[in-house]
Copies of this chain bind each other. A is one copy, B any other.
Amino acid sequence: MRILLTNDDGVEAYGLEILHNIARQLSDDVWVCAPVIEQSGKGRGITLHDPLRVKRLGEKRFAVSGTPTDCVQIAINDLMPQPPDLVLSGINRGFNLAQDVTLSGTVAGALQGMTLGIPSIALSQCLDFDIDLMTQWNAAEVHGAPVLSAILEKGWPADVVININFPDCPADEVTGVEVTRQGFRDAHEMHAVKRRDPRGRDYYWMNFHAFDQTMIDGTDLNAVAHKRISVTPLHLDLTHYETMHRLKKTLGGTVPKQINIADDEKAGAAE
């Protein structure tokens, strides 16, 4: 099994080293293609406006001056002699839970693998950023390979990625694996800090608020809060079907009714 690793914390991140150790428990053929610079919060961003540089750091190790999506795309299409059988993205320094999955570069790396037809998994370690980060990877380190093995054995559809979050506790305190759905938090969590630069000009810097998590059974948020490893299948169909069916009845249809109404209104508004 050929495995491609990426992440969004950058090619030198400690979480990538741990993921490499885990991947080596599954295969001898492990490749790395990861961003030169941290890409947290880049979501599914791709680099269209600038060129990308690729640095070969070793026989199977590359750094790219772009996002995780760029990395996976270039690795599979341009750098690897044969495509991988599995893409692993992470291990992210900190959780990717609830609507974070839509902002996460780590999850994006896995999503890009999936869109290229490769089974793909994102992995994140929940951490307490107030204490030494190097000491908090035990849950992922110990349970990573066996949980991956179990998931690989079960399999999942080609248009789905698996998002794993390891809880913020030592490995021996982990109480289980829970298959979850994506939770939701109060979204007023992002905010910008306003500061003044040394030349006296204002700038803003984006940050995240502390927030109260709503603990709802069955969600990724709830699972890790109870020291369980959260496993969430994700896909890229954003359609809200319930609203689609409702609007189809009231708004849509093949008859251009709205357009006719529209034209009348428009004519009125223009005068």
Contacts and interface: CB of A to CB of B under 8 A. Distances in A.
Interface in A106-159: 108, 111, 115-117, 142-143, 145-147, 149-151, 154, 156-157, 159
Interface string A230-254: 0111111111111110011011111
A20 interface: no
A176 B254 CA distance: 6
A84 interface: no
B146 A116 contact: no
A214 interface: no
Contact of A192 (B74, B176, B247, B258): B74
A184 B43 CA distance: 20
A5 B47 CA distance: 24
Q: Which of A51, A54, A116, A188 is packed against the most chain B CB atoms within 10 Å? A: A51
B254 A178 contact: yes
A24 to B, nearest CB: 9
A contact residues, range: 35 or more
Contacts of A254: 175-176, 178, 228
A37 interface: yes
Given A115-B187, A146-B263, A174-B256, A157 B206 contact: no
A228 B175 CA distance: 53
A18 interface: no
A123 B2 CA distance: 41
B178 A252 contact: yes
Contacts of A187: 115-117
A211 interface: no
A92 interface: no
Contact of A143 (B147, B150, B180, B259): B259
A234 to B, nearest CB: 4
20 contacts: A38-B49, A48-B206, A51-B197, A53-B201, A53-B204, A77-B191, A99-B115, A99-B236, A157-B242, A159-B240, A175-B254, A175-B256, A176-B254, A176-B257, A177-B256, A177-B257, A178-B252, A179-B247, A233-B240, A234-B238
Closest 6 CB pairs of A and B: A146-B262, A179-B252, A43-B44, A176-B256, A233-B243, A115-B187
